[in-house]
Structure 1
Amino acid sequence: MPQESAHAPQRIAERRNALGLTQTLLAEQLGIAQQTMAHYEGGTLRIAVALLSPLSTTLGMSLEELVGVPTKPGKRGPAPKLQQQLERVAALPKAQQRFVMQMLDTVLQQQSG
């Protein structure tokens, strides 16, 4: 999965361009700075967990498409547990979102190191 998620910045830029959005406009819609959006698209900054759901909605993509998780065609039903959890995190106050992101970063760094 790490190989697939490495292409998320490219998918974001391609989709944004296809929709005719500038980085500035997309950043404004997400409530972030244009420079932050540029770092996300450039792959120099990881996308904040709290932004995944609003970003996928704004770009008209599923979370799976956004992060590069292959979907199984024809499978219907409730949203995957990860998507449900991401949506719950996105609804938390900013301080709690940062705490969850720090925890995730710590775990992911331990896995990759």
Structure 2
Amino acid sequence: MRIDHPDGGYTVTNPGGVSLDYQADGSIEGELPMIRSLCVVDISRVVRHDIARVFDTVSHTLHFEGGGVLSYMHGSDGRGYEFSGHKVLVQADKDGHVTVHGTCPD
């Protein structure tokens, strides 16, 4: 289900109840209760992948050709904490599987 907002952004909620907010400026935010897997559809589009481990958390930042950026943090047990991006197309399901398609076209 998609809900359009007056500012040009929109919220997409999939049948499993996972919601992602897409802002008019290209920013993306979402709440994922867990992150079990993350699939990048075309790995050749990733230009940089930064990983930081702090205590029981792992943070990832993926930079894509065309300027898209995806950042997420999860616990070592798979619990999701933070999920954000800019100009990327992302799909997620209630079981914690995330698919990243790369930079959104303008």
- Structure showing the higher helix proportion among its residues: 1
TM-score when normalising by structure 1: 0.25
Larger radius of gyration: 1
